[in-house]
Structure 1
């Protein structure tokens, strides 16, 4: 979990949200003995990494899997085998654990959080090897749209894969009635964001549009667009500063490209927890159509439609009652089904099922 452990002091004093640890903090508070291990994805390649790379060509490896992850996980094997259950919050680490389990190096049940696996090309070898490794873990997905395609593509039994809708820290992400809502806000860095459509729409929006991203934006920005270079995952902006922007938003825009992968989930839930109305691109990858309902707690737009996006946002800017209605409904949705406590409950349940025991486990280390 490179860089995440440094945020623990902020979490403990309430200056950062707990969802950054995928339910581990909540499990610790319930009495689970949780150990965190960091994997450095930026570490320079070693001789061992290069050897694995030659023996295991990229086209035959699961998506996003790097030899350095395998060697780093291997170096932790003794500590990991002291646990009851291993939770990998990155698909690459989950595959590395499963590969080492096939070699009897890792001997504990594995729970792997996967997202967007099918967005990558799979030749015969990659598909067969990925399927073999997925059979050595229980896979958790963030959204319902990926469940059946993943099961069918990799021939996984129902017992090996399930959905755990993501949740956010509702104590940290909260409304602030005293703050005036005077901006439009958007944040995100995953490759499925469509900021070009938002920038095009901004010319028809009568409010400052603040965008936080490291992704490139069009060269020519309308005068009302304010570009902050950074990310929620990074340290460029404090979590409290991001929360302030949510609390100031008359609309939070989550512009997405068409995809079957759940995208924009954490931003949407954070915004809703802060009582901000959300304008979200409707894609096949929407994580839950039961949770997210048009005009009840969200406003949908179609991919790439800047005119519709501008109209939705402008409608919110001029309608204070709609802002309050959607804001209240959004907050209720997160409190009921989109909070990190619910997510942690389901992770804990899966750990107990994997180990065949109820109550507190010896240790359940999450990764990222």
Structure 2
């Protein structure tokens, strides 16, 4: 029996671990997981790509190099091996190629958006669930959808514990050069910086965003407005700079468009770990749950007036902002530290060591 971790992208986990030891970046849970389980890391890169890799990739909406990697892994596998893949772009190729090869290792794959039309089509068309033991999802509503859609038993759903490295992202002093209030944000996925710009363009604040440069975006794309306000800046921040941005911020705003999963949660947790008040767009699932818990201030999707009012309320009421920040900070330390997520993954994967190949799938079919 061997453990395998299959990465969607050629990510250097060893370098990340070394950076964490030096305090340059936060821990990466998959790097820690690989060490705890003595797992083999697989990533794309040096695998020759065939014509069939390209054909499969086009049909599945993935990359040829991901199929080439999966094709190189399958001959190494036994039915006792346990695989964790961090996305369907590698999990689905592994399931498909194992099915073709008549192999049945134990496979856990993360599914970002199970409601996606292509994901649903591939799962049904190729019956991939017969070769995936556990579906790892962002929230319980996604798990409920997969259970109903594929007629799965509950033990084949694992809900992701969102996490952050609370040793790296932690409270600290603001920069001495700070001259006026800072509204910070970060990320590109499902973001709505148009609404943030509309809410803040004439306020006496600096809006600083950790993302690719606004100027590098096509007009109106990537969630940015066509005209960038004078008080808004977006650029690349390394991890140490991002931590300092959070520490400098008076408020961290995570504006997102309407979507069904939990984009922005990582930024929310990093900001709360630094004990900063967070304003978050209320979308279905975890974002709304955080609002209801009272650990973030929620605003409606695309509502610049409500976002502006929330920002002004927290800026004008520092005690209220501090209390919100403290509630969020306590929640992260209690529930969302990296170690908690690491232990949940270890428990899931080590429990599978004693199971026979396909046990969970057979149980569901029975």
Fold match, TM over 0.5? yes
**Partner deviation per Cα, 1:119-163 (whole Å, 9 max, x = no partner):** 34567x534136524652311112223121222223322221121
Q: State yes or no: 1:9 paired with 2:18.
A: yes
Gaps of 5+ in 1: 231-236, 358-368
Distance 1:221 1:251 in 2: 20
Distance 1:178 1:122 in 2: 44
Is the alpha carbon distance of 1:178 and 1:243 closer, same or farther for their aligned partners in structure 2, counting shifts above 3 Å?
closer
| TM-score normalized by the length of structure 1 | 0.81
Displacement of 1:23 in angstroms is 4.4
**Partner deviation per Cα, 1:231-261 (whole Å, 9 max, x = no partner):** xxxxxx3200000001111111111111111
Residue number in structure 1 paired with 2:108: 111
Q: State yes or no: 1:341 paired with 2:348.
A: no
Q: Choose which of 219, 223, 226 in structure 1 pairs with 2:230.
A: 223
Is the alpha carbon distance of 1:317 and 1:295 closer, same or farther for their aligned partners in structure 2, counting shifts above 3 Å?
farther
SS in 1 for 2:125: helix
RMSD over aligned Cα atoms: 2.7
Displacement of 1:299 in angstroms is 0.3
Gaps of 5+ in 2: 1-6, 213-221, 356-366
Equivalent pair of 1:98/1:137 in contact (CA under 8 Å): no
**Partner deviation per Cα, 1:15-50 (whole Å, 9 max, x = no partner):** 2111xx33441563xx4313322224xx8983x1x3
Q: Choose which of 44, 49, 60 in structure 2 pairs with 1:39.
A: 44
Residue number in structure 2 paired with 1:74: 71
Distance 1:322 1:314 in 2: 12
Equivalent pair of 1:142/1:287 in contact (CA under 8 Å): no
Distance 1:134 1:279 in 2: 42
Residue number in structure 1 paired with 2:262: 262
Equivalent pair of 2:296/2:324 in contact (CA under 8 Å): yes
| TM-score normalized by the length of structure 2 | 0.82
